[in-house]
Structure 1
Amino acid sequence: REGVNEELDELRKIIFNTKDFIEKIQERERLKTGIQSLKVGYNKVMGFYIEVSKPNLHLVPKEYERKQTLVNAERFTTPELKEIEHKFSYSEERIKTLEKEIFLEFLKELTKYYSTLRKISELIADVDVFSNLALVATENNYSRPQITDTDEFIVKEGRHPIVEKYLPKGEFVPNDTYMDNKENRIIILTGPNMAGKSTYLRQNALIAIMAHMGSYVPAKECKIGIIDKIFTRIGASDFLALGQSTFLVEMIEVSNILRNATPKSLIVMDEVGRGTSTYDGLSIAWAIIDYIANNPQKFGKTLFATHYHELTQLGDDEKRGIKNYTMAIKEYKDEVIFLKKVVKGTINKSYGIFVAQIAGIPDEIIKRSKEILEELEKAEKYIKEKVEIDVPRNIVSKNVFQPTLFVPEIPKEVEHIINEIRSLDLDNLKPIEALQILSEIKQKISNIKF
């Protein structure tokens, strides 16, 4: 600003007044030469110049010095313009030097008050943070959480603080959560896409973080025991530059969780195993839950969302602290309504075709998908009725997965067909692929003697 340094003020005036000065020179030279199209300009390469079009070159005075030739014009300079250019260039450089000197002097003076200024800035930062947390809590009806020495994680009518802001007021569906390190240590959450599983997982992690940082939380009531770490395995990502696929990244993150979690940790896992084949993914997910359940001295509360409905066989095991929950669904005629409510129980349908319909997949494909799905389900049901297969219940309480999921005396041909059907990813199966697979299964069944 003006008044800090007299020399700096004068130099700035030279820079700022140059434009007006140039306009005066241009007007004067036009009157002097009679060249009405004469222009006085400036650029960083040429500096200041007088430009005259070629039809008017015979009117150029002798004192003009040629500086540059263009296609339709010539550029000249004069002793007066040279002097202005010198002052202009000097002023620009001198201004930079002076401004730097003044700034460094200011910093030197400022260091005398460093301790005081730092304390003031910290106080302002605290006021800024807490006042904003208070404002957000007031505007969004947050409640004060209770931080306890217990191992409980209790949330009544919890909400996602970000997702609810994108919905009309009152439309977000709140959900309860009750977990501890005993009978309610692991929640296996099933439900179709778009039902709200990921939102539920994330909102509980966010509520835990907000409670521990001293904020009110988006819930009617909240009581949380001290959590030392929060581990998450959510979303799909890869690092192709490092040669790491989506599944490899997923396994690296899971490995980190299993190696570093403690009984006071909160673990959040979403769709572990989806990055590989169905059977591999199911086996890994099953083994992970088994490992966490069998080692309560190593792991704390765990939220595990999955599309593998087979994992629900691990649930409702109070001794190991595993509970089954699902996202409530209501079927009405040919429609599916996602209630966004977490309830106890399980679900055995993915509703993938309905989600595809919502996404805008052509009706012809949707119709054909339903037909193929019906045929595949009939084929699987037929085989099950013939061989009466079932996963042995005692498998869920052992550390090591048994070599086979099937009862004895099942022909290898039948077992192979069953494995094929179980490994089908119906959500991602193309119609033509489904028809081909169904035809192959039908042919194989017709060759088996029961």
Structure 2
Amino acid sequence: MAQYTPMIQQYLSIKAQYPDAFLFFRLGDFYEMFFSDAEKASEELEITLTSRDGGKERVPMCGVPYHSAHTYVEKLIEKGYKVAICEQVENPAAAKGVVKREVVRVITPGTIMEENMLVDQENNFLVTITGSGSTVALAAVDLSTGECHVTELDGSGNFVLDEIASYQPKEVVLDELLTQEKNLIHKVQTRIKALQTLFTYSRSDTETEQELASQFPDFAQVCTTPLLKRVLGILVTYLQQTQKRSLSHLQRLRRYDARQYMMLDDAAKRNLELTVTLGEGKKRGSLLWLLDRTATAMGSRLLKRWLDKPLLNMEKIYERQEVVEAFIADFLLLDDVKDYLKQVYDLERLAARISFGSANARDLNALKRSLQVIPRLKEKLILTSCPRLQQLGEEMDACPDITELIEQAIVDEPPVSVKEGGMIREGYDQKLDEYHSIQKDGKTWITQLEQRERAATGIKSLKVGYNRVFGYYIEITKSNLRLLPEGRYQRKQTLANAERFVTAELKEREQLILTAAEKSVDLEYELFTQVREQVSNQVNRIQSLAERVAELDVLHAFAIIARQYQYVRPALHSGDRIFIEAGRHPVVEAVSDDETFIANDAELDATKRQILLITGPNMAGKSTYMRQVALITILSQIGSFVPARQAEVAIVDRIFTRIGAADDLIGGRSTFMVEMAETCHALKEATPRSLILLDEVGRGTSTYDGMALAHAIVEYIHDHIGCKTLFSTHYHELTELEDKLDRLVNIHAHCIERNGKVVFLHRMMPGGADRSYGIHVAELAGLPQPVIERAKELLSELEGRLQQAASASPGQLSLFDWGPPQEKVVVKEVGLSEEEKQALEAIRSWDLLNKTPFESIQLLFELQQKLK
């Protein structure tokens, strides 16, 4: 270190404490970075890289202005980095040697508090995990709202990954103990797209319990196991080390059992487009987009959490349904509540900023205006006949004392800054009023002085002015200097066309005015922080109110959607039957403009209709039908009404989906490997109460492999799992399974052929389909007409060859089962002679599975000619 200058030595010693963060090192009006931080930051932020004398050598350096640093911090956080803010903590004028500096906060993707860096409708979760053996403990916190959740999970399978992913965390903190669980660590690192930190936790059990008991009022009742205490201890310690300030708003600790909610893994959420669309990953077009008619940001965030975790508890679902029904039945109530909710700001984040010490006077006024709405909202709710609405109204604390405090202390239109005055209302503090009076009287005195001096000198252009450098002055143009009485003024500044002067009287008054102004600004800030602290002491009340307003907001949104699209209240039960009459896909219906959505029935149960095998052409609506059954089930279990004429829904514990084609390049998995992995996950984790959606399983490999896998999967679900399943396929041979599996039923997407064109009716009908109309769909997609015509010729040629083979040797048809000609040929062993058996062995040696269907048909045709 001795080879560097004292300032660089200080930088290096602080940087060593934060090796994984960019160190924003305050130097005057800039935050500077040095060495590798500077080189990397110059690339990431696209700013100029310079250098500075470091003692022995010049060291790389770059910097950003402190007044616009938030812009650069935001860019680094968005890229997944940490930023340590290092400030000067002593007055440079009083410093002996290098000014003392300390890191005052480390900003990370999971600890953002800045309003401009947060998305109003989304939580910003940080997740910590620890574990031992087969049990993993998880804690999730949103520092910007003050909510904290803990749970223990089965560490086997993908259960932990699904639960972490449900929070869509911006940051994951891993206990160093987990390094022994290499498989879990690897899965987290590859599956969870968030900043990841390996954390060393060294506090004793006693220290942990004392710390957490002081942070969370109900810690002892919530964290009853060593793992829960440890994971929460890691979380709080990490937040303390990064934020370096009070976390008093972090009081809402909730323990939950993940098994008490419907489990939806990443594949299910993605394929069903619950929160974002498949193609562009945008909210528009998702189920969340359709349902989000909330009036508040906290309501929007709660709606997303409800979608991520549908309920299994029918009593709670009924409670939500009752509220939705009450709103639908009373249009005036629906309208009034909407008007009130629109006036409520984001109470959760306001409370967090107030407690965190980052709120300004405008935030306090936003809180005041929100609280002023609550009494009228309470009155509306209490007068309803719905028990839950009444309860919500009674539980809403309007916090009149907080409203009164803010009203007395803060002006109606305060400035953004809290350190420039102008925030505190007149009459709130006597001393401040005196300072303001001095300033006001001083301005009057200045005006009077200008008038007196003009009269005394006869100079009408004389003026009294002020600037921050020279203070108050009397300005006289050079042409009028001759009119000045001798010795009346003291010269202060010379300008090109004027001279500026002062008098002893003006100096004295200036000192009085400026001292009062300076003291009033300091006192205003002190008074404001006192008010903010008083409000901060009541943050638990504000957070409790926010929870109830958010719940009301979501249920109100459900009612708006239900009225607009004529949704019905579903009947839920603990049995095994799902019956949907005239069901619709909620999102497709909403974006269909004036087109009428074709509704379809669905019936599934464990005794006769466990598996629906769906066949039919592409573009005929099979995937839409499958998804709408799943979405209606999810809507039912979050307490919403559903798009149907009538719905009876059995509680489902998990929904699995295998829909669409996508590879995993980062994970080194092909499209077919992803397909098989998702199918495997469903087969291993599903229970008899689950719902599985499988679309075109097996299409990513050869025809024979794919059909064999599809066949085996259907049998396994039927014989070993017993859960309700929608299975869509183009392997029409599988329709024969209806005769072999007593709980499998064929249905198909109906279409008609008219004048050589296929008309899709989007109607699900009983029975299986025998054609896929693939060439017709290719034509609709716009393939060149020569390609379409040639494909039709080849298809006709294949069909002709098969028919020729069948008619040429009818006695040998026991050897070959010529299924739908454009699909495949299946070899069957049925009453073969010795010669035929030898021929069959020859067929197997040809490795037909690696040949195209057309090549296989040619080989089999040649063999049949020989056998004939």
Instruction: Give yes or no for TM over 0.5.
Output: yes
Structure 1 residues 438 and 247, CA gap change in structure 2 (3 angstroms): closer
Structure 1 residues 3 and 251, CA gap change in structure 2 (3 angstroms): closer
Partner of 1:45: none
Partner of 1:301: 724
Give the match's secondary structure for 2:768. Answer: coil
How far apart are 1:449 and its partner, in Å?
Answer: 4.2
Question: Which of residues 236, 253, 267 is equivalent to 2:678?
Answer: 253
Q: For each residue in 1:145-201, what CA deviation from the matched residue of structure 2 results, as whole angstroms up to 9, or x when unmatched?
A: 000232110000000000112213452110001110011101100111101010000
Structure 1 residues 158 and 100, CA gap change in structure 2 (3 angstroms): farther
CA contact (8 A) 2:692 2:726 kept: yes
How far apart are 1:113 and its partner, in Å?
Answer: 1.5
CA distance, structure 2, for counterparts of residue 235 and residue 104 of structure 1 = 56
Give the match's secondary structure for 1:290. Answer: helix
CA contact (8 A) 2:568 2:646 kept: yes
> Is 1:200–2:622 an aligned residue pair?
no
CA distance, structure 2, for counterparts of residue 404 and residue 128 of structure 1 = 62
> Is 1:313–2:741 an aligned residue pair?
no
Q: Which amino acid aligns with 1:136?
A: I
Partner of 1:269: 694
Give the match's secondary structure for 1:314. Answer: helix
Structure 1 residues 448 and 5, CA gap change in structure 2 (3 angstroms): closer
Partner of 1:43: none
Structure 1 residues 421 and 254, CA gap change in structure 2 (3 angstroms): closer
CA contact (8 A) 2:577 2:605 kept: yes
CA contact (8 A) 2:704 2:849 kept: no
CA distance, structure 1, for counterparts of residue 756 and residue 846 of structure 2 = 29
How far apart are 1:339 and its partner, in Å?
Answer: 0.5
CA distance, structure 2, for counterparts of residue 374 and residue 106 of structure 1 = 85
CA contact (8 A) 1:316 1:323 kept: no
How far apart are 1:115 and its partner, in Å?
Answer: 1.8
Partner of 2:383: none
Partner of 1:361: 783
CA contact (8 A) 2:748 2:767 kept: yes
Partner of 2:866: 448
Q: Which amino acid aligns with 1:8?
A: E
CA contact (8 A) 2:600 2:764 kept: yes
Partner of 1:25: none
- The number of residue pairs the alignment matches comes to 347
Q: For each residue in 1:73-114, what CA deviation from the matched residue of structure 2 results, as whole angstroms up to 9, or x when unmatched?
A: xxxxxxxxxxxxxxxxxxxxxxxx999999976764433112
Q: Which amino acid aligns with 1:313?
A: E
CA distance, structure 1, for counterparts of residue 526 and residue 866 of structure 2 = 93
CA distance, structure 2, for counterparts of residue 446 and residue 146 of structure 1 = 59
> Is 1:133–2:558 an aligned residue pair?
yes
Structure 1 residues 423 and 175, CA gap change in structure 2 (3 angstroms): farther
CA distance, structure 2, for counterparts of residue 99 and residue 337 of structure 1 = 75
Q: Larger relative CO (CA 8 A, sep 6+): 1 or 2? A: 1
CA distance, structure 2, for counterparts of residue 340 and residue 418 of structure 1 = 42
Structure 1 residues 103 and 287, CA gap change in structure 2 (3 angstroms): farther
Q: Which amino acid aligns with 2:866?
A: I
CA distance, structure 2, for counterparts of residue 180 and residue 167 of structure 1 = 31
> Is 1:380–2:802 an aligned residue pair?
yes
Q: Which amino acid aligns with 2:862?
A: K
TM-score, normalization by structure 2: 0.37
Question: Which of residues 549, 561, 573 is equivalent to 1:148?
Answer: 573
CA distance, structure 1, for counterparts of residue 708 and residue 767 of structure 2 = 22
Structure 1 residues 135 and 418, CA gap change in structure 2 (3 angstroms): farther
Q: Which amino acid aligns with 1:341?
A: R
How far apart are 1:448 and its partner, in Å?
Answer: 2.2
Give the match's secondary structure for 1:183. Answer: coil
Give the match's secondary structure for 2:683. Answer: helix
How far apart are 1:361 and its partner, in Å?
Answer: 1.3
Partner of 1:220: 645
> Is 1:113–2:541 an aligned residue pair?
no
CA contact (8 A) 1:269 1:304 kept: yes
Structure 1 residues 440 and 153, CA gap change in structure 2 (3 angstroms): closer
Partner of 1:171: 596
CA distance, structure 2, for counterparts of residue 122 and residue 141 of structure 1 = 28
Partner of 2:420: 8
Partner of 2:705: 280
Q: Which amino acid aligns with 1:412?
A: L
Question: Which of residues 833, 840, 863 is equivalent to 1:412?
Answer: 840
CA distance, structure 2, for counterparts of residue 227 and residue 6 of structure 1 = 53
Structure 1 residues 222 and 5, CA gap change in structure 2 (3 angstroms): closer
Q: Which amino acid aligns with 2:420?
A: L
How far apart are 1:135 and its partner, in Å?
Answer: 0.5
CA distance, structure 2, for counterparts of residue 174 and residue 321 of structure 1 = 24
Structure 1 residues 128 and 281, CA gap change in structure 2 (3 angstroms): same
Unaligned runs of 5+ in 1: 11-20, 22-31, 33-60, 62-96, 393-402, 426-433
CA distance, structure 1, for counterparts of residue 725 and residue 524 of structure 2 = 59
CA contact (8 A) 2:694 2:727 kept: yes
Q: Which amino acid aligns with 1:348?
A: D
CA distance, structure 2, for counterparts of residue 346 and residue 422 of structure 1 = 28
How far apart are 1:294 and its partner, in Å?
Answer: 1.4
Question: Which of residues 641, 661, 667 is equivalent to 1:236?
Answer: 661
How far apart are 1:285 and its partner, in Å?
Answer: 0.6
Question: Which of residues 178, 181, 184 is equivalent to 2:609?
Answer: 184
Q: For each residue in 1:235-275, what CA deviation from the matched residue of structure 2 results, as whole angstroms up to 9, or x when unmatched?
A: 12221111111111111111111111111111111111111
> Is 1:371–2:793 an aligned residue pair?
yes
CA contact (8 A) 1:148 1:224 kept: yes
CA contact (8 A) 1:326 1:342 kept: yes
CA contact (8 A) 1:8 1:98 kept: no
Structure 1 residues 231 and 277, CA gap change in structure 2 (3 angstroms): same
Within-5 A mapping of 1:13-32: none
Partner of 1:41: none
CA distance, structure 1, for counterparts of residue 633 and residue 653 of structure 2 = 10
CA distance, structure 2, for counterparts of residue 117 and residue 238 of structure 1 = 47
Partner of 2:769: 347
Structure 1 residues 342 and 8, CA gap change in structure 2 (3 angstroms): same
CA distance, structure 2, for counterparts of residue 200 and residue 316 of structure 1 = 24
Q: Which amino acid aligns with 1:372?
A: L
Q: For each residue in 1:118-138, what CA deviation from the matched residue of structure 2 results, as whole angstroms up to 9, or x when unmatched?
A: 121111111211111101011
How far apart are 1:214 and its partner, in Å?
Answer: 0.7
CA distance, structure 2, for counterparts of residue 352 and residue 144 of structure 1 = 39
Structure 1 residues 367 and 441, CA gap change in structure 2 (3 angstroms): farther
CA contact (8 A) 2:653 2:690 kept: yes
CA contact (8 A) 1:233 1:269 kept: yes
TM-score, normalization by structure 1: 0.68
CA distance, structure 2, for counterparts of residue 99 and residue 244 of structure 1 = 62
Q: For each residue in 1:297-345, what CA deviation from the matched residue of structure 2 results, as whole angstroms up to 9, or x when unmatched?
A: x33111100111111111255x630001100010112100010000011
Compute the RMSD of aligned alpha carbons.
3.7
> Is 1:326–2:745 an aligned residue pair?
no
Unaligned runs of 5+ in 2: 1-361, 363-413, 423-466, 468-477, 479-495, 497-521, 818-825
Q: Which amino acid aligns with 2:727?
A: F
Q: Which amino acid aligns with 1:120?
A: L
Structure 1 residues 3 and 279, CA gap change in structure 2 (3 angstroms): closer
Give the match's secondary structure for 2:652. Answer: coil
Worse-superposed segment, 114-123 or 382-391: 382-391
CA distance, structure 1, for counterparts of residue 632 and residue 644 of structure 2 = 8
